[in-house]
Amino acid sequence: MNVSVPHSSYLGFDYVELWVGNAKQAASFYKTRLGFSLFAYQGLETGSRTWTSYALRLGEVTLVVSSALPPGNETFNAHLARHGDAVRDIAFRVTECKSTYERAIAAGAVSVHPPQEYLNAHERIILATIKTVGDTTHTFVERSGDRTTFLPGFVAVNDPDPLAHILASVGGRSLDHIGLNIPEGDLEPLVGWYERVLGFHRFFSIDDSIVHTEFSGLRSVVMADLSERVKIPLIEPASGFRKGQIEEFLEYHRGAGAQHFAIITDDILASSQALHERGVETLKVPSGYYPRLREFLQVADIKLQEDVEVLAQRVFINKI
């Protein structure tokens, strides 16, 4: 049975939450290195005795880094011991939390917690969470009213980073996609799960005949909601190659999970330069990449907005 979710259910990503060993330290990294700004917080000072969380934004991207406060939180401790600092929750903004959750459960989703409603004088928030791959979860977030509160228990923070005025602006705009790495053989079953449970469809597919090196290959299907505001690439390694980055992630993460999230920027050159000035290490580009790119663009029906020569000068090339 294929259970479809209405076209209007998904409004986009709401937030991505990481469970980390030291939330304050992680928040500092995302502010200083990646240009996020702190806008909400929960912890002992706000009356939370169980969690400390920092909510950060870059453009419309919302990231939460959280640590458990009591030492006996078995779920958090097991997650941290198995995965290290890792994405725990990928939350979607939806128009109808209860109906989206009920359709998901009817289609076979495993519940983490059913819809819970939070009301104050200004707004109404409804939250519900289900499991997805590995130890990762999806939360449905319905918001109405003034939207002055981030999540229940959080307080707004207006404490600009004193380093912000001397660091280059990264310029991120919105969350493009979040990639989930999964073991080989799990791709098609998981594609079916996102179709059946969340009402997503196949947005784009690639296989190891397209993406491979002499060392590794992969297969991927990008899943999207009907409005294509949410995109989640599902990525599995392809056998027949040496161990590649997908298998390395699965090994070190000890199972399936979120490997990366991608942020849209209006100027990739300015963003990459700003990150470099902030001390962020980037992937190295092989020395033969741009000569091959120039040859490809001469025969391909593709118009590249950026100047290839400028790109080649601005990237950090690995000549090894």
Domain locations in the chain? 10-166
Per-residue pLDDT of 163-216, as tens digits, reads 888 999 999 999 999 999 999 999 999 999 999 999 999 998 765 444 444 455
pLDDT for 28-61, tens place per residue? 999 999 999 999 999 999 999 999 999 999 999 9
Q: Where are the alpha helices (DSSP H) in the chain?
A: 23-32, 74-83, 97-106, 187-198, 245-253, 268-277, 289-299, 308-314
Q: Is the predicted pLDDT of residue 77 greater than 50, yes or no?
A: yes
| Residues 78, 76: Cα–Cα separation, whole Å | 5
The per-residue pLDDT for 146 is: 80
- More confident position, 312 or 171: 171
**Of 166 and 287, the one with more pLDDT:** 166
Amino acid at 133: V
Distance CA 156, CA 306 (A): 39
pTM here? 0.90
Q: If one looks up domain 10-166 in CATH, what number appears?
A: 3.10.180.10
Q: What is the pLDDT of residue 315?
A: 58
Torsion sign, CA atoms 78, 80, 86, 90:
positive
Partners of 257 in the β-ladder: 181
Q: Residue 238: what residue type?
A: A
Give the confidence band of 289 by pLDDT, cuts at 50, 70, 90: confident
Per-residue pLDDT at 113: 97
